[in-house]
Amino acid sequence: MSVQSWTFLLVAASFTLYIGIAVWSRATSTKDFYVAGTGVSPLANGMATAADWMSAASFISMAGLISFMGYDGAVYLMGWTGGYVLLALLLAPYLRKFGAFTVPDFVGDRYYSQTARIVAVVCAIFVSFTYVSGQMRGVGVVFSRFLEVDVNVGVYIGMAIVFFYAVLGGMKGITYTQVAQYCVLIFAYLVPAIFLSLLITGNPVPQLGFGDVDQASGISLLERLNGLHQELGFSEYTSGTKSRLDVFFITAALMVGTAGLPHVIIRFYTVPRVRDARLSVGWALVFIALLYTTAPAVAVFARTNLINSVSEVPYAQVPEWFTTWEGTGLLSFEDLNGDGRIQFVGPDASTANELTVDNDIIVLANPEIAGLPNWVIGLVAAGGLAAALSTAAGLLLVVSSAVSHDLLKRSIMPEITERGELIAARISAGAAVLVAGYLGINPPGFVAQVVAFAFGLAAASFFPVIILGIFSKRTTREGAILGMVAGITLTAAYIAYFTLIHPELNNADNWWFGISPQGIGTVGMLLNFAITLTVSRFTPEPPPEVQQLVEMIRVPKGAGAAHEIST
Amino acid sequence: MLLVVWFVVSYGFGIIAVEPLDTVTVPGTGFPLGFWFAQQGAIYVFVALIFVYVFLMNRLDREFDLREEDDV
C-alpha cells in the first residue's frame, strides 16, 4: 500500500475511535462537563494529562527544533518537564483541596473579588487562544502533506472532529478520548525512533542509542555529528550558541508556564482525592518523559540522516520525499552558486547555504528520509493529529468553562439553571472552535514558537497569584489584580513588539539583557510577584473567612499540621 | 528540600555548569555529561522527585491518620 492509503486508513481508524469514545462517555451534568464528575483514576488522569499536555509542539515541532539547536534544545526538554515538579509540590494537591472548577474560580474565591475573577478569565482565554493557534498550524501541516488536501480543508476537518467530542462530551469525553490519543501518539513516536536507533547504532533503545557508536563510521554518533557540523560550518551540536542567561530565562518561563497553564491545572480537579492529585501528576510526568527522553535521540538521528542524504547531492537526483515536501512550501532549495548541487551549510562556512528546512517537518519527514516502511509514515501522521487535537480540545474546554461558568454563572447571571449553564458551555465551546479555526488558517508563527509564547503569558499571569494565594494569607485582591495585569501586559507587549511590530529588530542586540521574547515570561512573572507582594502590604488585609480558607487548603483534611516538609 | 535538588539538577548541572561537565564523558557511551544532564538526566530526576514526594506525603498522611475516603 502507498503512503497515502496507509495514512488515510490509520487517520480514519483513530478518528473513529475518538468519536466512539466521545459518544460512549458524553456529559450529562455540568460537573461531568467541567471536571468529568471528579471520578477519574490517577493513572487514566495521568495519561490524559500527558496527551492534553503534549501538543503538536511536542510531537511535531520539538525534535525538529532540537535537531537545529543542538544543546540549546534542552530549554524545551527541561522547561516542559521541570514544571511538573512545581505543579506536584506546590500546586496540584492544594488546588484539588480547594475544590474549584476552574482557575478563574479559584482566583475569584481566594481574592474575594469579581474583578479578579474577570481579569483571570481574560488571561485564561488569551493564553488558551495563543496556544490553540499553534495546534491548528500543526494540524494544517499534517493534512497538507499526507492527505494532499488544502491546508484550510485540513483545518476544517480537524475543527469538526474537536467540535464533535468537546461539545458533546465535555471534560468527561475529552478525558477518555485523550487516554486513547496518548496511546496513539506515543506508539507513533516510539516506533520510528526505535527503527532509526536500530538502523544507525544497532541499539533498540533510542535513549541509549544516540550516545552509542555509529555503525557506519565506527565512532560515537555524537562525535560524528559534531564532526559533520564542523565540516559544514555549523556550531558544535553538543554545545550551545544562545547566551547562558537567555537559556536560563527561557527554561524558567517554560517551567513556570507549565505550572500556570489553565488547561493543565484544571486536570487535577478531575480526580476523587487530594492524594490522587499528587499521584496523577507523577503518572503524567512518566508518560510525558517517555516521549521527552526519546525526542533528543530522534533529533540526533534526524540531523545525521538529513545531512547525509542532502549535503552535496545533485538537485536532479534528490530523493522522492524531498520533492513532495517542496510541494508544501516547507522545504526550499535555491541554487545560489549554480553548481546544481545542494549546499546545506552553516553560518561559519565559506559557501552560502542553499537549503531552507522548516523545523516543523523534521519529525514528519524523518521516517521517509530514513526510508522506513510506508505504514510507519502513516502512523506518524495519525500520531501528530492525535497530539494536536487532544491539546486543542483541552484548551477549548478551558475557554468554554471560563465563559459559561466564570463569566455567566459566577458574574453576570448567577440564577442560571444547571441545564442553561450546560447549554451555554456547549455554545461557547462551539464559538471557541470557530475562532481557533480562524487562527489555524491565519497562523502567527511556528508551532513551538507560538506555544512558547503561550507559556510565557501563563507564567507571567497565573503562577504568582496562585502560589501567593495558597502560601501567603496576607495577599490581597488589589495586589493580585495589579500583579496579573502588569505581568501579562509586559510579557504580551514585549512579544508583540519583537514578533509583530518590529520583527526585523528581533535579535540579541536589541533584547533587554539578551533575553529573547520566549524568555520574557520569567521577567513578567518576577514583576507580577513584586507588584502583588508590595501592593498587598499597603492594602487592607483579606477578610477573616478568606484567611481561614487559606489555612484550610494547606491541610489535607481537618487535622494535623506539618505539611511543609518539602518546601 | 526536593526543590533544591530540582534546581541544582536542571539549572545547575544542565545550564550553569554545562561546560566543565562536558569535559567528562558518561562511561560506556558517547554522551558529554553536561549535555546528557540537560537532555536526559534532568527529566529522569524530575520523575523520581515527584514519586519521592508522593511517597513522603502519603507516609505523612498515615502518621497523622488522615484518611480521606470520600473527601470534598
Which tens digits make up the pLDDT trace of B9-64?
Answer: 555 555 555 555 555 555 555 566 666 666 677 777 777 777 777 777 777 766 66
Q: Which three cell numbers stand for residue A232?
A: 559544514
Cβ–Cβ under 8 Å, residues A250 and A91: no
Rg (CA), chain B: 17
Pairing, β A331-333 against β A355-357: antiparallel
Interface of B with A in 3-42 (CB under 8 A): 3, 6, 10-11, 14-16, 18-19, 22, 26, 29-32, 35-36, 38-40, 42
Nearest CA in chain A to B17: A244
pLDDT in tens, chain A (567 residues): 677 777 778 877 887 777 777 777 665 666 666 655 556 677 877 888 788 777 777 787 777 777 777 777 777 777 778 777 777 777 777 777 776 656 777 777 777 777 777 888 887 887 777 777 777 777 777 777 666 666 677 778 777 777 776 666 666 777 777 888 888 888 888 888 888 777 777 777 777 766 666 666 666 666 677 767 666 666 666 666 666 677 777 777 788 877 777 777 777 666 666 677 777 778 888 888 888 888 888 888 888 877 777 777 777 777 777 777 777 666 777 777 767 677 776 666 666 677 777 777 777 788 877 777 888 888 888 888 888 877 777 777 777 777 776 666 666 666 666 667 777 777 777 787 788 777 777 665 555 666 777 777 888 887 888 888 777 777 777 777 888 888 888 877 777 776 666 666 666 566 666 667 777 777 777 888 777 777 777 777 777 777 777 777 666 553 333 333 333
Cβ–Cβ under 8 Å, residues A363 and A298: yes
Q: What are the residues whose beta carbons fall under 8 Å from the beta carbon of A58, sequence distance 6 or more?
A: A80, A291, A292, A295, A387
Largest Cα span, chain B: 54
A78/B3 Cα distance (integer angstroms): 15
Nearest CA in chain B to A277: B54
- Identity of residue A440: G
Which chain B positions have a beta carbon within 8 Å of A240's beta carbon?
Answer: 18
Give CA separation, B23 vs A224, A238, A259, B26, B31, in Å.
17, 11, 34, 10, 10
Q: Does A227 touch chain B (CB under 8 A)?
A: no
**Closest Cα partner for A67 from A324, A294, A347?**
A294
Which chain B positions have a beta carbon within 8 Å of A81's beta carbon?
Answer: 42-43, 46
Cβ–Cβ under 8 Å, residues A463 and A484: no
Which chain A positions have a beta carbon within 8 Å of B24's beta carbon?
Answer: none
Q: What is the DSSP string of B18-67?
A: HHHHHTSB-TTSS-BHHHHIIIIIHHHHHHHHHHHHHHHHHHHHHHTT--
Give me the residue spans of the domains in chain B.
2-63
Interface of A with B in 285-324 (CB under 8 A): 285-286, 289, 292-293, 296
Q: Which three cell numbers stand for residue A252?
A: 524558567
Is A293 in Cβ contact with B44 (below 8 Å)? Answer: yes
Which residues are A557's β-sheet partners? A559
Domains plus CATH for chain A? 3-309+359-444 (1.20.1730.10)
Nearest CA in chain B to A278: B54
Q: ipTM > 0.95?
A: no
What's the gap between Cα A176 and its chain centre? 19
What is the phi/psi pair of residue A345, to 5°? Answer: -130, 165
Torsion sign, CA atoms A51, A55, A56, A58: negative
Distance between terminal CA atoms of chain B?
29
pLDDT of residue A41: 73
**Closest Cα partner for A175 from A285, A30, A25, A384?**
A25
pLDDT of residue A218: 63
Give CA separation, A48 vs A44, A261, A288, in Å.
6, 15, 10
Which chain B positions have a beta carbon within 8 Å of A244's beta carbon?
Answer: 15-16
What is the phi/psi pair of residue A372, to 5°? Answer: -75, 160
What is the phi/psi pair of residue A238, to 5°? Answer: -85, 0
pLDDT of residue B69: 47
Torsion sign, CA atoms A122, A126, A127, A131: positive
DSSP reduced 3-state for A557: strand
A25/A40 Cα distance (integer angstroms): 12
Which chain B positions have a beta carbon within 8 Å of A50's beta carbon?
Answer: none
pLDDT of residue B31: 62
DSSP, res A542: P
Q: Does A514 touch chain B (CB under 8 A)?
A: no
What is the phi/psi pair of residue A472, to 5°? Answer: -130, 110
Q: What is the DSSP string of A172-234?
A: HHHHHHHHHHHHHHHHHHHHHHHHHHHHHHS-S-HHHHTTSB-TTTSSBHHHHHHHHHHHHTP
Q: Which three cell numbers stand for residue A412?
A: 453576570
pLDDT of residue A559: 34
Cβ–Cβ under 8 Å, residues A244 and B16: yes
Q: What is the DSSP string of A217-243?
A: TSSBHHHHHHHHHHHHTPPPTTS--S-
Q: What are the residues whose beta carbons fall under 8 Å from the beta carbon of A208, sequence distance 6 or more?
A: B29
Is A248 in Cβ contact with B47 (below 8 Å)? Answer: no
